[in-house]
């Protein structure tokens, strides 16, 4: 049969999460993790997914779940997560944080975009060659920014900072909500630096999944 490629278009982050759950529970594969995090657990996973969010700044940034179902993330959780993503602080015992890899590159990327709207080189590398040796390497690998030059804009388009991100592996329940909310806030910060709108987000993964303990909840939400 080969790889099944799933395309999802959503208005906001809330809608994207629900659509991902629906697609995953309908079209995912079930298998047992043999290496890395959660060894021995089963999970449902999509082969390859591309998620296009057209209005990712719509609040709330976290999912709005029905009453009685535990929310995977809320505003307080996002506040606690942001230092991991947007500062270079690292706690004892942590092998890495996203922030310690992202933050040093941000000034370079901002200056690059200031010099040349339209450049396709404003790409932050989260992964490093030595990560292949880690037992639990980073899931987020790339954050790619793009602002189209005025020459490239179509009628009615305004200059905006768009963002493409790639996750090698991505926990839809425990990672997606806080990851996407945090990345949107990062996008908004960079857009303010550039004095343009914060635009759309495209997220790509060849490993979007849900672990077995949350399957029943996901099935309920997939029917929501």
**Cα 86 to the chain's mean position, in Å?**
14
Tens digit of pLDDT for each residue in 200-214?
999 999 999 999 999
Domain locations in the chain?
5-222
pLDDT at 115 over 90: yes
pTM of the model: 0.95
Tens digit of pLDDT for each residue in 36-50?
778 889 999 999 999
The answer to whether the CB of 141 falls within 8 A of the CB of 150 is no
The separation between the first and the last C-alpha atoms of the chain, rounded to the nearest angstrom, is: 30
Q: How far apart are CA 213 and CA 130, in angstroms?
A: 32
Share of the chain above pLDDT 90, in %: 87
Find the mean pLDDT for residues 14-29: 96
Class for domain 5-222, per CATH? alpha beta
pLDDT at 222 over 80: no
| Confidence class for position 224, pLDDT limits 50, 70, 90 | very low
């Amino acid at each position: 049969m080969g790889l099944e490629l799933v395309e999802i278009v959503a208005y906001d982050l809330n809608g994207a999460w629900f659509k991902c759950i629906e697609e995953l529970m309908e079209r995912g594969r079930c298998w047992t993790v043999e290496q890395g995090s959660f060894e021995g657990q089963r999970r449902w996973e999509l082969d390859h997914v591309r998620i296009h969010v057209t209005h990712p700044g719509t609040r709330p940034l976290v999912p709005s779940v029905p009453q009685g179902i535990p929310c995977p993330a809320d505003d307080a959780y996002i506040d606690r997560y942001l230092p991991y993503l947007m500062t270079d602080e690292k706690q004892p015992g942590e092998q890495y944080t996203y922030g310690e890899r992202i933050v040093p590159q941000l000034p370079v990327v901002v200056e690059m975009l200031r010099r040349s709207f339209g450049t396709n080189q404003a790409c932050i590398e989260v992964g490093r060659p030595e990560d292949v040796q880690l037992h639990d390497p980073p899931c987020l690998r790339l954050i790619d920014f793009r602002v189209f030059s005025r020459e490239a804009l179509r009628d009615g388009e305004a200059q905006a900072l768009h963002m493409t991100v790639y996750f090698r592996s991505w926990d839809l329940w425990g990672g997606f909500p806080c990851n996407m909310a945090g990345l949107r806030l990062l996008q908004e910060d960079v857009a303010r630096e550039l004095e343009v709108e914060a635009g759309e987000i495209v997220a790509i993964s060849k490993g979007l999944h849900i672990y077995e303990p949350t399957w029943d909840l996901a099935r309920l939400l997939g029917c929501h």
